[in-house]
Amino acid sequence: MMMEHFTLEPLAARHGDCLLLHFGPAGSPGTILIDGGPSQVYGQSLKPRLKQLQQNRPGGAFAIDLLIVSHIDDDHIRGVIDFTEEWRDAKTDHRPWAWPVRQLWHNSFERIAGGSPKDVRASILSSFGAQTFPEIAEMDGDDEDRHAALKIFASVGQGAQLRSDAELLGIPTNQGFAGLVQPGSDPADPVDFGSGLSLHIVGPLPAQIDALRQKFAAELPKGPAASFAAYVDESVPNLSSIVILAGYKGKTMLLTGDARGDYMLDGLDNAGLLDNGKLHVDILKMQHHGSDRNTASGFFKAVTADHYVASASGKYENPDRETFEMLIHARPKTDRYTIHLTGEVDAIDALREKERAATRAEKLAKHKPAPPAWDADKHGLATLFAKAGQEGYKFKVRTPAQGSVAIDLLDPIGF
């Protein structure tokens, strides 16, 4: 019998996402790259792994069949920019490039907003009173929704650079879509990517994008104050994420970007993928690095998985303990599933504690409500997992120290 691969490989991506999806027959497998993580990830994780794949993967000349940038946020797109910059330099110097990309899926914010790229970028800078997009990242984001929106807009310039690089490098972008990567006229119809791989676009939904565009059209002409309020609307970061249900040989992965749980449930329902309001997948890439602000217990009851992946380092206190509490309590004690972390539990907790202390000091200095001081018993992941095990829960926690981070749903990859 021919060996087949359907594997998700979460690379060490600091506080971001960088995922490799391997699929197809063992003799000629395909590769999809989803996001590139923040700074340092390309050089430390992605580039070394691409070198290994080029040398060891069977099937002839290596290529990335599809590059997906889930959304413009530095902890997802920066590594991709580092990749395309190096490729661009190689092209300028007439040097061969070992890891060509056959196509790109990327929703720029300008397309989401529905305006001309130049006008939208100028409006954003004017609204935020900034000269450059990185300045926006330094603005006050005390409210979590506002902070998430600020991160998106700080990366608008990176999205523009990616589009420019893709054009220079001849990478076809959003082929088969009418502009944005989003569900088509029949949302139940997945994209047939070839080799038996289906990519079901779950979000963003056209109706949600249209509502956001109408809001922008009404508010932006009113001036910087009104447009600022529109830009920091909580729907902006959620509607920026491409959400995909990948399927191969009866196995499934839900790839979520930073989308909110209720938005994903709407998308899954719209696509006819829910059965009595529920869906079981083999792998769930936990949204927004396991942040509790993007999910609720109802989501974990509606969408269950055999494998949960949280790509996070402890920065911004992600993954949140509350997220895992919701997951654990949504599943019966006897359920056997695995939580995959991209770092070691103790190291993640140590950075979460440090982040909590810094946030608390900053809030208190500004005389604003502050989170409680760190208490390992109440806030630590290590204590939560240990307690759950003592109470009889059957899930497992897997970290890089225990071996390969790749999650093989069919035959294991050997490259």
Amino acid (1-letter code) at residue 163 = R
Mean pLDDT for the stretch of residues 302-306: 98
Look at residue 236 and tell me whether its pLDDT is greater than 90.
Answer: no
Q: How far is CA 255 from each of CA 48, 216, 225, 284, 412, rounded to the nearest angstrom?
A: 23, 28, 35, 7, 20
| Confidence category of residue 254, pLDDT binned at 50, 70, 90 | very high
Q: Which pLDDT score is estimated for 235?
A: 59
Burial of 209 (0-12, 13-18, 19+ CB in 10 A): buried
Q: Are 256 and 285 in contact (CB under 8 A)?
A: yes
Least confidently predicted of 24-28, 247-251, 340-344, 391-395: 24-28
- For the stretch 350-371, pLDDT in tens is 999 999 999 999 999 989 999 9
Q: Are 4 and 24 in contact (CB under 8 A)?
A: yes
Nearest to 288 by CA among 312, 307, 324, 262: 312
Q: Cβ neighbours of residue 140 under 8 Å, at least 6 residues apart?
A: none
Q: Cβ neighbours of residue 200 under 8 Å, at least 6 residues apart?
A: 190, 191, 244, 245, 246, 247, 271, 273
Average pLDDT, the chain: 90
pTM equals 0.93
Nearest to 204 by CA among 224, 221, 176, 182: 182
| Confidence category of residue 111, pLDDT binned at 50, 70, 90 | confident
